[in-house]
Structure 1
Amino acid sequence: MSKRISAKYKIDRRLGENIWGRPKSPVNVRSYGPGQHGQRRKGKLSDYGLQLRAKQKLKGYYGSVTEKAFRRLYTEAARVKGDTGENLIGLLERRLDAVIYRAKFVSTVFAARQFVSHGHILVNGQRVNIPSYQVKVGDKIEVRERSKQLAVVLEATQLPERDVPDYIDADHSKMTATYVRIPSLSDVPYPVQMEPNLVVEFYSR
């Protein structure tokens, strides 16, 4: 079970953005922050505030990533050659729960974590129940045979509000997906603007 399943929309309210693009987000009705002074909190953020906000938004989007795990991903991204921000996005999008969400096997990132943890997913024919498992290019991900008719799976594949990105080849008739390539920032269908460069600045302080 995701740690934030009952409070996921509080992240939207706090950040003032509909970070998952969900139609039921309270930000669609109330775009200001929570609390009795929420409508008056429009002060200009400092550089640190902007960096912190960018980190909270990116970490919140993936729903289940703890600060410790997120920092570990940043450290790995900084160690690899290339742009650290792009590397960080690539590592986040290689998480098994993120791949399950992108393939539209479930409707939310929170449900993806739970779905993986409960043993409904096979990677290359082997059951994997670790949401943070790093998928490799060419890996075949599939819903376990007896889980393919679950209502949450059937409903998720019919959701009109998002499409499967081209770096994942999904077959909803067989409930399988292949991880085609590691995406760049511009490939990832975020509903709001993500700024991994500010996240890098935050951890580089």
Structure 2
Amino acid sequence: MSKRISAKHKIDRRLGENIWGRPKSPLNARAYGPGQHGQRRKGKLSDYGLQLRAKQKLKGYYGSITEKAFKRLYFEAQRVKGDTGENLIGLLERRLDAVVYRAKFVPTVFAARQFVSHGHILVNGKRVNIPSYQLQIGDKVEIRERSKQLAIVIEATQLAERDVPEYVDTDHNKLTATFVRVPTLTDVPYPVQMEPNLVVEFYSR
């Protein structure tokens, strides 16, 4: 179940960026923050402010990830050999709900979490209802048979506003997707610039 407390449609306006690239983003209508003080002139951010903003943007992009879960992913990325920022992106993109979203089985990251939680997804033929489940290279993700005709699925596969990235091999006729490889930052089709290096600096303080 989602633990997000604040309204998700305010995230874009609070950060001042259309982080999902949605045509219906509220930022398109009101390009300032929510609330009575949203239109006040913003001062220059400190280094800490920039780092915090980068963390909020990356965390917010993946939907309802709690701070505790996000921080746990950071420490896991830190333990793995290689660049911590790149490792963090890889771990986020290996999440089952992220791959369901990337494969265009659902229209939003929030819908992906709910879709997985409700048991509509199979991984290698077995039902998995844990959105944070970490996929391995070669894992096959598919929509279970009785869920393939859901309106949300039909709508999502026809969306023209985003493409399926190369690291997810998707067949929309069979509604299956294979996780081909762990992506790097440049592989991931973020609509806005993400700065995992600043996220690393934030948690390294």
C-alpha RMSD of the superposition:
1.2
Asked if residue 36 in structure 1 is aligned to residue 36 in structure 2, the reply is yes
After superposition, residues 111-126 of structure 1 pair within 5 angstroms as 111-126=111-126
For residues 166 and 5 of structure 1, the distance between their equivalents in structure 2, rounded to whole angstroms, comes to 34
Could you tell me whether the CA contact under 8 Å between 2:97 and 2:112 is conserved in 1? Answer: yes
Deviation, 1:35, is 2.4
Deviation, 1:120, is 0.3
For residues 3 and 17 of structure 1, the distance between their equivalents in structure 2, rounded to whole angstroms, comes to 23
Q: Structure 1, residues 141-188: CA drift from partner, whole Å, max 9, x if none?
A: 000000001000000000010000000000000000000000000000
For residues 135 and 103 of structure 1, the distance between their equivalents in structure 2, rounded to whole angstroms, comes to 14
Give the equivalent residue in structure 2 for 1:79: 79
SS in 1 for 2:39: helix
**Counterparts in 2 of 1:68 and 1:4: CA distance versus 1, 3 Å:** closer
**Counterparts in 2 of 1:6 and 1:43: CA distance versus 1, 3 Å:** closer
Query: How many matched pairs?
Result: 205
TM-score normalised by length of structure 1: 0.97
SS in 1 for 2:170: strand
Q: After alignment, is 22-31 or 150-159 more displaced?
A: 22-31
TM-score normalised by length of structure 2: 0.97
Give the equivalent residue in structure 2 for 1:60: 60
Q: Structure 1, residues 30-77: CA drift from partner, whole Å, max 9, x if none?
A: 111122332223200000000000000000000011001000000000
Segments of 4+ moved more than 4 angstroms: none
For residues 165 and 49 of structure 2, the distance between their equivalents in structure 1, rounded to whole angstroms, comes to 31
Q: Structure 1, residues 99-137: CA drift from partner, whole Å, max 9, x if none?
A: 000000000000000000000000000100000000010
- What residue ranges of structure 2 are gaps of 5+ in the alignment? none
- What residue ranges of structure 1 are gaps of 5+ in the alignment? none
Give the equivalent residue in structure 2 for 1:168: 168
SS in 2 for 1:74: helix
SS in 2 for 1:169: strand
Q: 1:8 corresponds to which letter in structure 2?
A: K
Deviation, 1:3, is 3.6
